[in-house]
Structure 1
């Protein structure tokens, strides 16, 4: 068989192969677009005065462990907290909400904004929030960079989920 005849034969088969592959694609009728995630409930806020050590959040079904604060790569201060999913289903990223940080500025507690700057593509991200559901029993470190110096965390309150860490967070 000549090379030209082989090429014509292959080209003639391409539409038929595409039809077969298209018919095989798609989702089964019983497929769902999202896996179920754990439900959350409203609970009284929890204040952790001991910064180190695990703190359970029954409203979210998670345990938090404050990991510390360090100067941010792009400025500000990065707070790291480990989150463990205690539920029987994955934990939705929405379950934790937006973290907040309040510091004592000498005239009372004031809320500090998350640092918001452009990070060059391919570089270390500014924040590492929970972006995908956290598996059952899994633990991950979340990182949030706030527009504040590390020294200002000597008297501060960091809230994630229903838990507020209060005290010297500059550890």
Structure 2
């Protein structure tokens, strides 16, 4: 076919389609009922912590401790010398809730060590700026049933943790934190 014939054929097809569409617009067809086929999603209640008395763990620091206020389990996995000085406490947190645990659900932990007289001294926590690569907080919500590791560095020697109080969430680990 010649190019001119092709152009004429295309123009006729366009006019025919335009005429057909005009006929459809003039006839009024009943509008179909609108129905939604999207599944109904139930919103779960958001996470709400409970005010509870702290749980004291002073016998077996190797076992996980349940935090009833946050409904999570805390487990001290290890305590090590820090690469940049100080000591690092490694924890495993497991969310026992049916909803995600928000990243800001608990405040930063505290550590106090006892001297030979039994007096407690608060130890300063090292920041991510001082300790590059340290994961010391939840950066995203922790899903239902999920677990993750956290690490907190403190400016104290490993040997000073023989009589310490480590508080996180609603749990207090008290005793000798270093482990074999």
For the residues of structure 2 that align with 1:80 and 1:132, how far apart are their CA atoms? 18
**Shift in alpha-carbon separation, 1:149–1:127, aligned structure 2, 3 A:** farther
Measure how far apart 1:37 and its partner are. Answer: 4.4
1:32-74: CA deviations, max 9, x gaps?
xxx9742101000110012111111110010111112101111
TM-score for the superposition, normalised by structure 2: 0.69
Question: What is the aligned counterpart of 2:75 among 65, 87, 102?
Answer: 65
1:112-135: CA deviations, max 9, x gaps?
010247359xxx513431111001
1:69-96: CA deviations, max 9, x gaps?
1011111100011000000100012212
Does structure 1 conserve the Cα–Cα contact (< 8 Å) formed by 2:108 and 2:137? Answer: no
Q: Which runs of 5+ in 2 are unaligned?
A: 1-43
Measure how far apart 1:167 and its partner are. Answer: 0.5
Please tell me the root mean square deviation across aligned C-alpha atoms, in Å.
1.9
For the residues of structure 2 that align with 1:88 and 1:117, how far apart are their CA atoms? 31
Alignment match, 2:49: 40
Give the total of aligned pairs. 134
Alignment match, 2:62: 52
Alignment match, 1:132: 140
Question: What is the aligned counterpart of 1:164 among 172, 177, 180?
Answer: 172
Bigger radius of gyration, 1 or 2? Answer: 2
Which 4+ runs in 1 deviate beyond 6 A? none
Does structure 2 conserve the Cα–Cα contact (< 8 Å) formed by 1:51 and 1:169? Answer: yes
Alignment match, 2:93: 83
Q: Which runs of 5+ in 1 are unaligned?
A: 1-34
